[in-house]
Amino acid sequence: MNRQSRFSQFLESRNLRSTAGRRVMLQEISALGERHFSAEDLVARFRRRGRAVSRATVYRTLEHLLAGGLVRRLSLGHKHSLYESNLGRRHHEHLICLRCGEVTEFGSGTLERLLDGVCRRRRFVAQRLSIQLFGMCARCAEEGRAKRN
């Protein structure tokens, strides 16, 4: 099932309309591919293209897309969030640079097996998994070392 159909079904299940603004939002997010984006990034993209999509529509639609499992939110603290498309992607985690804000994805079968084992041993049924490591990317760490020398 494609994104648009899945989103339409989700909206219908909640008695919400599939408006032009919501459809354009989904198209824009699809065009971003695997890139991370903020709500304000979407607002800016619409403005650059001359599309009349309000900031309120962007934020409300992102909440619907989250609830429908079509996007994933990365909470970066201080009410700052990034989003990413969630359809057709392998599970992955994130390394987030505290200096430049770069977000790097990584996946680890070893880590997933370790966490599955922890859940089994504790008879815990995980509903969601999100690992975010905050630190310095290689470029920023190198720049920091260069400034100290």
Going by pLDDT thresholds of 50, 70 and 90, the confidence category of residue 3 is confident
Q: Is 6 exposed, middle or buried (0-12, 13-18, 19+ CB in 10 A)?
A: middle
pLDDT, greater one: 84 or 1: 84
For residues 50-81, one letter each, b for 16 or more C-beta atoms within 10 angstroms of the residue's C-beta and e for the rest, the string is eeebeeebbeebbebbeebebbbbbebeeeee
Q: Which pLDDT score is estimated for 2? A: 77
Q: Which pLDDT score is estimated for 120? A: 96
What's the CATH code of the domain at 96?
A: 3.30.1490.190
CA nearest to 36, candidates 123, 90, 91, 102: 102
Distances, alpha carbon 111 to alpha carbons 32, 97, 118, 119, 135, in Å: 28, 21, 11, 12, 19
- Which residue among 89, 111, 135 closes a domain? 89
Q: Which pLDDT score is estimated for 38? A: 92
Q: Which pLDDT score is estimated for 12? A: 84
Going by pLDDT thresholds of 50, 70 and 90, the confidence category of residue 148 is confident
- Which residue among 50, 73, 89 closes a domain? 89
Q: What percent of the chain has pLDDT over 90?
A: 32
Mean confidence (pLDDT) of the chain:
87
Domain match, 3 and 64 both: yes
Domain match, 45 and 116 both: no
Q: Quote the domain boundaries for residue 78.
A: 1-89
Q: Is residue 130 a contact partner of residue 83, using CB atoms and an 8 Å limit?
A: no
Q: Which pLDDT score is estimated for 78? A: 66
Least confident range from 14-18, 89-93, 140-144: namely: 89-93
Q: Which pLDDT score is estimated for 95? A: 92
What's the CATH code of the domain at 42?
A: 1.10.10.10
Read off the pLDDT of each residue in 120-137 and give the average, rounded to a whole number.
Answer: 91
